[in-house]
Amino acid sequence: MKIKYITLIGSAIIPLMSGCISNPTVLSPVGPDPASRAGSGLNGSLRVFSATETRADENTPSGYHGYFHPHSGYDIKDQSGNGVKYVANHASIMDESPDQVRLPEGNYNIVAQSACCGLVTVPVRIQQGKTTVVHLDGNWSPSSQLSPNQLVHLPDGESVGWSSATMISSN
């Protein structure tokens, strides 16, 4: 009799769980701060403040356990969906700063964890000499003087970066 109930419960849970495994939310394109000036060099840069993970460092002196919050890794894909690069986004468990990645000018898709909405896909525009920054950790507060159409938002309304009004269709 118990096996029958377990089977029924299991068959009801599997469809519910499969609904959780879906395609990531796709956001509007993010570009560099329009007020920033281009630096030198042929490439642009990308910084992604992805969701953080709490990590304990048990190797600290005096038995003290330190807790750190490195940013989670993410994938960079080209416009065709092919993998360009995986970014660990931290050098060690104590590194709480996201990596800065140099990329040729063009359009890419970032697949990363956001603090509020799980896995998201963020189209990004990399411009020569400029840095595109994506904020998915819930810690960015842009100026309240900005127009909402200047920013890209997650479904919950959280701002993640500057809107890229000029996306080119290929890299």
Q: Which residues of 98-115 are buried (b: 16+ CB within 10 A; e: fewer)?
A: bbebebeebbbbbbbbbb
* 84 within some domain: yes
Pairwise CA distance, residues 171 & 104, whole Å? 9
* 58 within some domain: yes
* 95 within some domain: yes
pLDDT of residue 49: 93
Pairwise CA distance, residues 166 & 32, whole Å? 11
* 122 within some domain: yes
- Cβ neighbors of 55 (< 8 A, separation 6 or more) are 67, 68, 69, 70, 93
In this structure, what token pair is assigned to residue 82?
Answer: 């092919």
pLDDT of residue 104: 96
Model pTM score: 0.75
* 168 within some domain: no
> Tens of pLDDT along the chain (171 residues)?
555 444 444 444 444 343 344 567 889 999 998 888 888 888 999 999 998 887 766 665 555 567 777 889 999 999 999 999 999 997 666 667 898 999 999 999 999 999 888 999 999 999 999 999 999 998 888 876 667 678 999 998 889 999 987 444 333
Count of domains forming the chain: 1
* C-beta atoms surrounding 121 within 10 Å: 16
* C-beta atoms surrounding 15 within 10 Å: 8
* 5 within some domain: no
In this structure, what token pair is assigned to residue 137?
Answer: 């950790």
pLDDT of residue 97: 80
Q: State which residues form the domain around 109.
A: 23-163
* 97 within some domain: yes
